[in-house]
Amino acid sequence: MRRFLSFVLLLLALVVAAPAQETSERIRELEKKVEELQHRLDRLASTADETTRTQIEELRRQIDVLTREIENLKSAAPEKAAPAGARGAFGLGPAASRIYGVTRGVSIGGYGEAIYQNFDRRREDGAPSDRTDSIDLARAVFYFGYKFDDRFLFNSEIEYEHATTGEGAEEKGEVSVEFAYLDYLIRRGINLRAGLVLLPLGFVNELHEPPVFLGARRPEVEDRILPTTWRELGVGVFGDAGPFAYRAYLVDGLDAAGFSGSDPLHEGRQGGSNARAEDFAVTGRLDFVGVPGLLVGASGYTGDSAQGRRSPGHGRFDARVSLLDAHAEWRWRGLQIRALAVRGSIGDAAEVNALDGRSGTGSVPKRFIGSYVEAGYDVLFPRGGAASLVPFARWERFDTQDAVPAGFAADPANDVRLWTFGLQYRPIPQIVVKLDYQDARNRARTGVDQWNLALGWLF
């Protein structure tokens, strides 16, 4: 047993020294040694007495720490073996999960993005678009974490939007806590989390660092249908079990008073700010990650959102919100393909409409849907090195009012088809420049095409 402990400690020391080498060969060597150690422990556990089993569990815990260190190295390695979009620990992005690779003490990371948007002067029906070109420091974000010991850690994201919160004629920005939680790390298969958490839905809600996703702007489906960035106060479990990764939380529910027809859930998010807590919800995610480069899974959310309110003329109601998405991603050498489909529903939509007297096409939807497929290829991959150049295309279709209550009509402008064609260049994995063109169409023929140019970074 002491030999095993010495072996684990030696491996940990090798991981600490590894950044000086930072080669994919070194990382593969460490992963192989960890796998061999796991197999040896499994054989021992089958014949061990109670005392030995306790010692084995302690070794497994230390192996989990080692595995997280290796994952952190893989995320940070500036090599083609770890393309943009590589995940950090437990579904988070590379910078957001930096704290999991720290032995003890403080961790600091962050990301940012600036974007220029140039709009067509005409809508698709030929009428003036009345859209004004804009340039914006959309986000400057900082991650602060603290590792208390091998079990407890704190992780947080502080976001500054639109460069200022000052007074004046300009559009106001804001400062927000995107997440702030405590983890209790038990073992890789099961851990506990409590605080302000990111809901594990879709791709971008957890993985929203600019070099991680294709396109100057986040997919519209993961904004209008899945209201990224979505966080709530809650408690739950997470971990990696064999070829599966999972997260599941109990969180405070949405507030139906903020629902709308064009952005069904956006203003219903409470974000941990003096949130009403009459109704709660459950959310979870399960992904198969057993094949390198492949992720296939589903995530969901369900919970009431009336938050104690009564509808005029209807009395009490629940306004249950349910979301279900299926998603898949495949990364192989320079190729990256991603697909997602999501369906949402709002119960008691007529009662929600009555809260503020909605009529006509302004109804909260009974059902809303969205899907997208995107693909890109790194044309510099065959050359090796840190730089990448990825032409890509994305097709999206969504309808924020796929079904509305009787007596209301859906706004055809909310039934959208969107093509995005673009190019992104990364001189190093942490910095990205993106240029793309978006062709927007809707059933009302009011879509406006646009060019986007963005600069993003993470550290």
Q: pLDDT by residue (tens digit) across 100-147?
A: 989 899 999 999 999 999 999 999 999 999 999 999 999 999 999 999
pLDDT of 418 > 80? The answer is yes
H-type helices in 77-216, by residue range?
A: none
Tally the domains of the chain: 2
CATH code, 164: 2.40.160.10
How many other CB atoms are found less than 10 A from the CB of residue 377?
16
Counting Cα atoms < 13 Å in the Cβ hemisphere of 191 gives: 27
Residue range 60-80: average pLDDT? Answer: 57
Residue 276 has φ and ψ, to the nearest 5°, of: -65, 140
pTM over 0.85: no
Average pLDDT, the chain: 88
Same domain, 169 and 235: yes
**Tens digits of per-residue pLDDT, 262-316?**
999 999 999 999 999 999 999 999 999 999 999 999 999 999 999 999 887 767 8
**In this structure, is residue 120 part of a structural domain?**
no
Considering the domain boundaries, does residue 105 fall inside one? yes
302 and 343 fall within a common domain:
yes
Domain that holds residue 235: 94-110+139-417
- Contacts of residue 325, defined as CB under 8 A and 6 or more positions apart, other chains included, come to 201, 202, 226, 298, 299, 300, 340, 341, 342, 343
β-strand partners of 438: 420, 450
In a domain, residue 348? The reply is yes
Task: Confirm whether 133 is domain-assigned.
Answer: no
Q: How confident is the model at residue 375 (pLDDT cuts 50, 70, 90)?
A: very high
For 63-84, give the secondary structure using H, E and C: HHHHHHHHHHHHHHCCCCCCCC
**The predicted structure's pLDDT at residue 290:** 93
Q: d(Cα 47, Cα 53) in Å, to the nearest integer?
A: 9
C-alpha angle 346-418-215 in degrees, rounded to nearest 5 = 100
pLDDT, mean of residues 383-405:
96
- Token representation of residue 89: 């620990």
